[in-house]
């Protein structure tokens, strides 16, 4: 999303290093392109962890591209806020064109060297498009609240921090004071109830202190 700003801190880098270590232990990425998702609640550190992971991959010569869920919302941010205020039931995965994001990630897996994707311009409250080059990329990192639901994902990372624990981070990153009004707390509480259930789909869980725990599944 154009106009977004992130601050990568040591704990994000530590988590990214652990995720990359887990990938390396499994020989990933291998011969095929890999799709990895980073999900969690608002302010949990998704964007920062994704960017730190891209840097960790680059350090070992692996090219990657970050797909931001924010670019795939049905409406641009301020218009989406108005839609939520008009009908609180609008809050949820239906706000996002997850089908289009899945389509683009599948195209990446299938070897596409470029694709045309949405680009949200926050300040202008509009959605444009951009041509994204995928040349030299072995990993696609899709980050956003609902990305655990993406069917094209090979590896799912879930950051286990709820909206109340991340308020300070949201205040630091906020692009608009309206994002921190009581209505937004109501939105985040609804999102929490939705997103918390997605943890069960994760392969790796990033805990509140940004340690990384693999999820053991029964055979």
Per-domain boundaries in the chain: 10-207
Which candidate, 1, 22, 4, 6, places its Cα nearest to that of 206?
Answer: 22
* pLDDT on residue 114: 98
Type and span of the H or E element at 133:
strand 126-133
* pLDDT on residue 50: 98
Q: Enter the CATH code of domain 10-207.
A: 3.40.50.300
In tens, the pLDDT along 37-76 reads: 999 998 899 999 999 999 999 999 999 999 999 999 999 9
In tens, the pLDDT along 77-94 reads: 999 999 999 999 999 999
Average pLDDT over the chain, rounded to an integer: 92
Residues in CB range of 38: below 8 A, 6 or more apart: 46, 49, 50, 53, 141, 142, 143, 144, 147, 157, 159
From first CA to last CA, the distance across the chain in angstroms is 40
7: confidence class by pLDDT, cuts 50, 70, 90: confident
């Amino acid at each position: 999303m154009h106009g977004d700003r992130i601050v990568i801190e040591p704990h994000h880098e530590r988590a990214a290093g652990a995720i990359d270590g887990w990938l390396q232990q499994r020989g990933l990425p291998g011969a095929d392109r890999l799709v990895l998702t980073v999900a969690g609640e608002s302010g949990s550190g998704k964007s920062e962890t994704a960017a730190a992971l891209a840097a960790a991959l680059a350090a070992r010569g692996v090219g990657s591209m970050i797909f931001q869920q924010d670019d795939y919302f049905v409406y641009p941010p301020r218009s989406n806020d108005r839609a939520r205020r008009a009908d609180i039931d609008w809050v949820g995965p239906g706000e996002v064109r997850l089908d289009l994001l899945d389509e683009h990630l599948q195209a990446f897996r299938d070897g596409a060297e470029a694709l045309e994707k949405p680009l949200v311009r926050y300040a202008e409250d509009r959605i444009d498009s951009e041509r994204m080059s995928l040349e030299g990329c072995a990993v696609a990192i899709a980050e956003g609240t609902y990305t655990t639901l993406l069917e094209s994902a090979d590896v799912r990372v879930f950051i286990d921090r709820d909206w109340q624990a991340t308020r300070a981070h949201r205040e630091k990153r906020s692009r608009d004071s309206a994002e921190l009004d009581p209505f937004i707390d109501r939105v985040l509480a609804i999102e929490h109830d939705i997103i918390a259930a997605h943890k069960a789909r994760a392969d790796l869980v990033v805990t509140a202190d940004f340690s990384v725990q693999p999820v053991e599944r029964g055979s």
